[in-house]
Amino acid sequence: MCNTEQQWIAEAKTGDKDAFAKLVEKYQKPVYSICYRMLGTPTGAEDAAQEAFIRAYQALDRYDISRSFATWVLSIASNYSIDQLRKKKVTILSMDNEKHAWLAPPDPGPSPEKAALEKEKLGQIQSLLTDLNEVDRAAVILQYWHDYSYEEIADTLDLSSSAVKSRLFRARRLMAEKWQKMQLSSVPPVNSTAKRIAHETSTI
Amino acid sequence: MKHQQYKTWILLDTELDLEQHRELQVHLKQCSQCQSLYQATHQIAHLFKTSPVPEPSPGFSTRWMTRIEKVENRKSRLILGITLSVISIATLLLLSSVGLQIRAGMAYFPQLMLEMITLVAEWIIFLNQLRDIVSPLIRVGMKFISPVWLYTLGFSLSVITGAWIISLSKSRTLQRELHS
């Protein structure tokens, strides 16, 4: 953790919201990203990410400075998202353009083909994640998108390393089964994406 | 090695040494089930890694500032509300307690008032009767007794009273001296 960040944390601990806003600015992307992967909608992700930062700000007195701030705030975000999923049973798979507005970057916009492909990929991802339980999903997200080790995932989700291994093992098995089914599926867009990815990976 | 072990290697994404990697590759060529699983896990990993990273819309931290201020205002209002509620409840309890006492007193109030009125009425009757008896006697007596006698009687009574007070104080002084 850099000195500037430590200074922001120290200032935020005294009630300086502007200092904490700088931390929000720095960590908004990973926090939003994990919330989005967990909840599946931009609205839900925005709300969860905002709430995670509010909880972090309110619990700043309990923050252990020896721990990584990123891990701590991601832990709050993932646990909040898990709670939200348990409470609301959010439907992850929704592919309307309005909800996935982030798929269209402002400047320059992707070509229609690229946008369609990304949209399709997103559908595939959310479809794979939907079948996992909330904690398994969080573990998968932390491993694949945040490159967390088993220990870091265990620390973030308050689990033991062996529990994380077990959960990831189960999650990968479920996702692989689903993926195989999707490849065999006769629905054209899913099949074509799966085949395209199969082709991409075979050429790597 | 058993098929299950290779499956575990694939699903746990275990870091393999060269020998293990070679062993797995040999098995994958022989086992279509493991081959399919291996491909699926790699394709999923590739899909995940190449997917676009979702980003919040611009102004996220500004929206956070607005939100935290709202939350803090709400918290302040909540604390104020709780404080006022506690004070209101305490006042209500106090008033209801006093009210219960007043109510208990009110239950006996007519009886108390009746007794007081009766007592006052009896005193009025007594004084009237006394006046009725004494006033004719005074009126008759005043005619026969000369004012000199009346002054003498008044003076005598004053002297006797004074002598009694003096003797009483002297006897108390004597008692104190005896005790000391």
Phi, psi of A99 (to 5 degrees): -75, -30
Task: List A residues 128-157 in contact with B (Cβ-Cβ < 8 A).
Answer: 128, 144-145
The position carrying tokens 């929704």 is: A94
| Same domain flag for A136 and A73 | no
The span from the CA of A12 to the CA of A61, in Å, is 10
Indicate whether A19 pLDDT > 90. Answer: yes
Whether A79 maps to a domain, the answer reads yes
CATH number at residue A86: 1.10.1740.10
The answer to whether residue B80 sits within a structural domain is no
> In chain B, which among 45-84 make CB contacts under 8 A with chain A?
45-57, 60-61, 63-65, 67-69, 71
Nearest CA distance, A173 vs chain B (angstrom): 6
Chain A CB contacts of B53 below 8 Å? 29, 33, 145
- Residue finishing a domain among A37, A63, A90: A90
Q: Are A106 and A85 found together in one domain?
A: no
The answer to whether position A13 is within a domain reads yes
Say how many domains are in chain A: 2
Please provide the DSSP assignment of A59-80 as one string. Answer: TGGG--TTS-HHHHHHHHHHHH
User: Of residues A91 and A16, which shows the higher confidence score?
Assistant: A16
Residues in contact with B25: Cβ distance below 8 Å, sequence separation at least 6, in sequence order: none
Q: Are residues A34 and A1 in the same domain?
A: yes
Lowest-confidence segment of A14-23, A183-192, B5-14, B75-84 by average pLDDT: A183-192
In a domain, residue A105? The reply is yes
N- to C-terminal Cα distance for chain A? 35
Tally the domains of chain B: 1
Q: How far is CA B94 from CA B85, B100, B139, in A?
A: 14, 10, 62
Closest alpha carbon within chain A to B71 = A54
Cβ atoms of B50 and B20 within 8 Å: the answer is no
pLDDT at A1: 61
Higher pLDDT, A200 or B75: B75
**Residue that is last in its domain, among A70, A90, A110:** A90
The low-confidence residues of chain B, meaning pLDDT below 50, are: none
Domain interval for residue B41: 1-53
Q: What is the predicted pLDDT for the residue at A106?
A: 42
Is B144 inside a domain boundary? no
| Chain B hits for A20, Cβ within 8 Å | 68
Q: Which chain B residue's Cα is nearest to A29? A: B55
- A105 and A129 fall within a common domain: yes
Residue A108 lies in a domain: yes
Please give the distance of CA B88 from its chain centroid, rounded to a whole number: 8
Give residue B101's pLDDT.
Answer: 72
Verify that A44 and A138 share a domain, yes or no. Answer: no
- pLDDT on residue A118: 78
Instruction: Supply the pLDDT for residue A195.
Output: 58
Size of interface A-B (CB pairs under 8 A): 115
- How many Cβ atoms from other residues are within 10 Å of residue A70's Cβ? 18
Region at B39 (left for phi over 0; alpha for psi -120 to 50; beta for the rest): alpha
pLDDT grade for A201, boundaries at 50, 70 and 90:
low
What percent of chain A lies above the pLDDT cut of 90?
51
Residues 8-47 of B with CB under 8 A from A: 8, 11-13, 36-37, 39-47
Calculate the average pLDDT of chain A. 82
Residue B17 lies in a domain: yes
Domain limits at A82? 1-90
Please, are residues B40 and B68 in contact by the beta-carbon 8 Å criterion? no
Q: Identify which of B29, B24, B22 has the alpha carbon closest to the alpha carbon of residue B11.
A: B24
Residue spans of alpha helices (H) in chain B: 3-12, 18-30, 32-50, 60-144, 147-179
Cα B44 off chain centre by: 62
Give me the residue label for tokens 């492909």.
Answer: A117
**One domain, residues A68 and A105:** no
pLDDT of A203 above 60? no
Examine the domain organization and report whether A109 and A194 are in the same domain. Answer: yes
Across A139-149, average pLDDT: 91
Q: Give how far B70 is from chain A: nearest CA, Å.
A: 11
Omega cis (within 30) before B110:
no
Query: Which among A90, A110, A126 is the end of a domain?
Result: A90
Q: Which ranges of A134-187 would DSSP assign to H, the alpha helix? A: 134-144, 150-157, 161-184
CA distance A168 to A160: 12
Is the pLDDT at A107 greater than 90? The verdict is: no
Scan for tokens 């102004």, then name that residue.
Answer: B59
Q: Over 80: is that where the pLDDT of A114 sits?
A: no
Residue A30 lies in a domain: yes
Confidence band for A74, pLDDT divided at 50, 70 and 90: very high
Q: Does A50 touch chain B (CB under 8 A)?
A: yes
Report the alpha-carbon distance of residue A81 to residue B180 in Å, rounded. Answer: 94
The candidate with the shortest Cα–Cα distance to A154, out of A174, A169, A172, A135, is A135
Same domain, A84 and A149: no
Whether residue A85 is found in the same domain as residue A110 = no
Chain B residues with beta carbon closer than 8 angstroms to that of A175: 40-41, 44
pLDDT of A108 reads: 47
Are the beta carbons of B49 and A144 separated by less than 8 Å? yes
User: Is A95 a member of any domain?
Assistant: no
- ∠ CA B75-B77-B79 to the nearest 5 degrees? 70
